[in-house]
Structure 1
Amino acid sequence: MRFSKYLIPLALTIAVIISLTLSVVIWTNPANYKNRQNATQNTQNEEITKPKRYVYAPTQAVHTDSNGNQTILVNRLVNSVTEIQKTMRDYQDVHLKKISTRSQEAYFQIANRPDSIMLSYVSPVSVKIINELTNNRFKKLPNYQVSRIVLPTNDSTHLYLLNDKNYAVYRINVKKHSLKSLNQVLDMNIRRIPASFQLFNGQPMVFVKSTAQLQPYRYLIDRQSEDYYVSRLLNNHDSQSSISVKRRRNVVTYSDQNTLQLAFNSRTRIGTFSDFRSNKNQRHITSVLSDSYNQLVDLGLPLESVHFFNYNPASRIVSYRTFVEGFPIFRTTGFGTISTQILNSNAKRLQFSLDNPEVPIPNNEGYSTLPTTETVISRLISKGYHKKNIQNLQIGYGWRRDNSSQLLVNLVPDWYVDYKGNWHSYTSLINR
């Protein structure tokens, strides 16, 4: 009787040990990779299917107070852009009117309007893309290109769309609504950097007016296996061909021997997916960005901090970057975190990294102090760089390997300069 008293607990304990042992074998054995992938498919889908309104959200918010003073709202504890975006979903009776084009005076009058928040893109999008932010409220508006959205904090019947390319100003009339939630964002615990919005080399740009202190980060990176992307990009397509593998130096190429090819560079850890099937060969910015978003979802890479960064209409390359505190991460390899390109009616390309920031690790280093925009420009000129070739400047984070572990990366604040069409860190340009 005494033995039987312990029989059931003992049996349960043994069952638990066996279950845990089998689980470890299943989850650590590469041969069972597909089973592991299927078991976590639902969780992964929740992570990767971020809606368009998230991926194509503006990347910067600038507040202009009642006295005309401007500050960049920095995402530290609160994602200010996301919170502002939430207030844009209840517009009623929406109508658009073109106010002006090719007038810098009219453009900056609205852009620097007191009592407003300006949301900015690095590269223009279209009204149809912004429609995703507004819960489909802009679906009937003309599909103009837009660089910035100006939301008055003291006028509940108007907002404005701006296009940097031709200084176009569009006023959107809406039914009167409450501005309480929009103004509440400004009362949240948000860091602010003094700024001004002005012309530089004939293009509108946000200038940082005082030194900015940013926190360096250490991130645990997700080093995804090649098998995962082979399964996502090759096995998921309707193809009767078997997958072939070819190795040439540091490049491994997988192919369905027909229309799909996936290559990995072991040195740069960059993957390139080429799709040679016929496509619609989109050229309008709306269709290009929509197709690009679909490729992101096919890729299956978590999009928690990934946002649209740039579109080049000449090459039809769409690039995305991972953002930290509202600032983009720059790397020495690749076009960004992810890039897509429509080559022609029979070819598309998708490029991505196998290493992506995943979990922040506490960093004991102090804040990094970055100089003002004017200081950066003047130092670059004194070093021999031509002002006319500086196309843009952005505060960002540089990706540097951590010597203590291959699974850690250091993200270091720095200025980034678009010089002659390519992004370079300010530090690297000054030290050349």
Structure 2
Amino acid sequence: MIKKLRTNWLAIALALAVILSLFLSSLIWTNPFQYEGARRENIRGNQQYTTQSMGDVYLPTTVVRTDRRGNQTTLYSPEVTLVREMRDSIRSWQFGRVSAVKTNNSDVYLSYLRHRNSLMLSYPNAVPTLIFNETFSQEINSDQVGQINHIVIPLSGPREVYLLSDHHYGIYRLRVNKGSFSKIVQLAKGTKQIPVDHKIVNGQTITTYPREFTLPTFAFQITNQNIETLSSNLISGSRQSNITTTRNGDRTIYTSGNNRRLSYNRVVGTINYRSYASDEYRSTEQLYSYFYNRLVKTGVQLNNIRFDGTSAHDRRFTYRTFIDGFPVFNDDGYGSITMTDKNGAEQCQMSRYSLQVPLPTSQRQEKLPSSTTVFNLLHASPHFKEFKGLRIGYLWKSGGNKKVVKLTPTYFVKYHGNWVDYEEFVK
């Protein structure tokens, strides 16, 4: 018997490999992950811990297709990171000169937001042109175009791209000297779509949802970064520091000298770091690269983290987890990182928890009402005049299981600087 095994060991090993392969394939066929795109990114992150480039973190977050009749839909894809794929294609384009088309005219500006037969990539907040250049490997003169909210790519007519700035309704034309639009057109074809419309209300550009629609719910396993490593990364910076640790109720306090202090809430897992060690002034434009470098030094995986906005007055930047182009919100701040640099003081607020492994779900679809319906419901709230914005996102619900999170799509309103589930105001 042993002699036969030795003689036929190769055939036996091959047979076992085939059986194992069939078994694993059956598991994938019968129990696939719903959010395939996140799974692939996560695998790359786990294997290589690849640092996301600054251009990845400052990517636009939404893609809108406007057809020849003027109908608009926002595009998303569970299979690919749509904006990143489009960015990779645009990087090969060669732009020519920049020319101003129009400023200070909201009607003309709105017509470009609704440009027929076009694709539009939008940021959640304006970014300086140097960030656009970094992301798309271009060299647009920042003296000609100060900041950008939207990138409009007409799919017919002259080969050109429009950069739109909500500030003063600036419209700027870029000639495309070299580059093919066919790749981004192809990427847009295999996507899911939600009807949208753009409006300008009280001087602010907003995206509305004229009809009810559905979005999938997700489930993720949560990963928690080692607090000792995280605190050391935040406090130490580029120098080795002596860190003192003390406990105060539910909080652990890490300090380094009199200038650096990190407070960790052990119950909810949130972190508040302050530093008074820097007397270097950084311009607002410099903060984009400075905060990106600080993000990298924390050691937090940035696979799904995107820039989500600034508060110029407070010099505060927010970075947030995005799923399929939709932001993730949580009452305890999970999924977001806020960084501030003001009056020589630096502050970072974040959580040690992040979304890691997508889990199988029943692929349940959540039906959401039109934004008109939501506006009508919110209008009855005594806080209506205090609402400053409305957007679609995912609500992070941990429930009783702290290792698994459920993401449910809903509307969020901006209330006193925070994004709150609209249902909190219509109960």
Same fold (TM over 0.5): yes
1:220 maps to amino acid: Q
Cα–Cα, structure 1 residues 301 and 313, in superposed 2: closer, same or farther, change >3 Å? same
Q: Which runs of 5+ in 2 are unaligned?
A: 3-43
Specify the SS of the correspondent of 1:311.
strand
Specify the SS of the correspondent of 1:416.
strand
- Paired position in structure 2 for 1:343: 342
1:58 aligns to 2:60 (yes or no) = yes
How big is the shift at 1:314?
0.5
1:392 maps to amino acid: G
1:249 aligns to 2:276 (yes or no) = no
| Selected match of 1:378 from 376, 396, 399 | 376
The 1-side partners of 2:402 and 2:95 are apart by: 54
5 Å matches for 1:196-275?
A: 196-235=197-236, 237-239=238-240, 242-275=242-275
Cα–Cα, structure 1 residues 248 and 202, in superposed 2: closer, same or farther, change >3 Å? same
- Paired position in structure 2 for 1:276: 276
The 2-side partners of 1:365 and 1:88 are apart by: 33
- Paired position in structure 2 for 1:412: 408
- State whether residues 399 and 410 of structure 1, in contact with CA within 8 Å, keep that contact through their aligned partners in structure 2: yes
Specify the SS of the correspondent of 1:170.
strand
- Paired position in structure 1 for 2:113: 111
Query: Per-residue displacement from partner, 1:255-274 (whole Å, max 9, x unpaired)?
Result: 12243322211133111222
- State whether residues 44 and 302 of structure 1, in contact with CA within 8 Å, keep that contact through their aligned partners in structure 2: no
| Selected match of 1:73 from 72, 75, 81 | 75
Specify the SS of the correspondent of 1:166.
helix
The 1-side partners of 2:236 and 2:377 are apart by: 52
- Paired position in structure 2 for 1:28: none
- State whether residues 211 and 372 of structure 1, in contact with CA within 8 Å, keep that contact through their aligned partners in structure 2: yes
Cα–Cα, structure 1 residues 185 and 141, in superposed 2: closer, same or farther, change >3 Å? farther
5 Å matches for 1:290-369?
A: 290-334=289-333, 337-345=336-344, 347-364=345-362, 366-369=364-367
How big is the shift at 1:353?
0.5
| Selected match of 2:134 from 124, 132, 135 | 132
How big is the shift at 1:312?
0.4
The 1-side partners of 2:232 and 2:383 are apart by: 46
Cα–Cα, structure 1 residues 375 and 425, in superposed 2: closer, same or farther, change >3 Å? same
- Paired position in structure 2 for 1:32: none
The 1-side partners of 2:77 and 2:386 are apart by: 30
Paired-residue identity, %: 28
2:219 maps to amino acid: R
The 2-side partners of 1:393 and 1:200 are apart by: 12
Specify the SS of the correspondent of 1:378.
helix
Specify the SS of the correspondent of 2:247.
strand
The number of residues matched between the two structures is 386
- Paired position in structure 1 for 2:85: 83
- Paired position in structure 1 for 2:22: none
How big is the shift at 1:335?
8.5
The 2-side partners of 1:278 and 1:181 are apart by: 46
- State whether residues 259 and 276 of structure 2, in contact with CA within 8 Å, keep that contact through their aligned partners in structure 1: yes
Cα–Cα, structure 1 residues 235 and 48, in superposed 2: closer, same or farther, change >3 Å? farther
- State whether residues 94 and 137 of structure 1, in contact with CA within 8 Å, keep that contact through their aligned partners in structure 2: no
- State whether residues 127 and 142 of structure 1, in contact with CA within 8 Å, keep that contact through their aligned partners in structure 2: no
- Paired position in structure 1 for 2:171: 169
TM-score normalized by the length of structure 1 = 0.84
- State whether residues 59 and 306 of structure 2, in contact with CA within 8 Å, keep that contact through their aligned partners in structure 1: yes
Cα–Cα, structure 1 residues 184 and 358, in superposed 2: closer, same or farther, change >3 Å? same
1:247 maps to amino acid: R
The 2-side partners of 1:322 and 1:368 are apart by: 20
The 2-side partners of 1:166 and 1:153 are apart by: 26
Cα–Cα, structure 1 residues 268 and 98, in superposed 2: closer, same or farther, change >3 Å? same
Specify the SS of the correspondent of 1:132.
helix
Moved more, 228-237 or 301-310: 228-237
Query: Per-residue displacement from partner, 1:156-209 (whole Å, max 9, x unpaired)?
Result: 631111111321111112314322112111222x10001111122331111112
- State whether residues 45 and 300 of structure 1, in contact with CA within 8 Å, keep that contact through their aligned partners in structure 2: no
| Selected match of 1:99 from 92, 98, 101 | 101
- State whether residues 89 and 137 of structure 1, in contact with CA within 8 Å, keep that contact through their aligned partners in structure 2: no
- Paired position in structure 2 for 1:396: 393
The 2-side partners of 1:46 and 1:236 are apart by: 23
How big is the shift at 1:296?
0.5
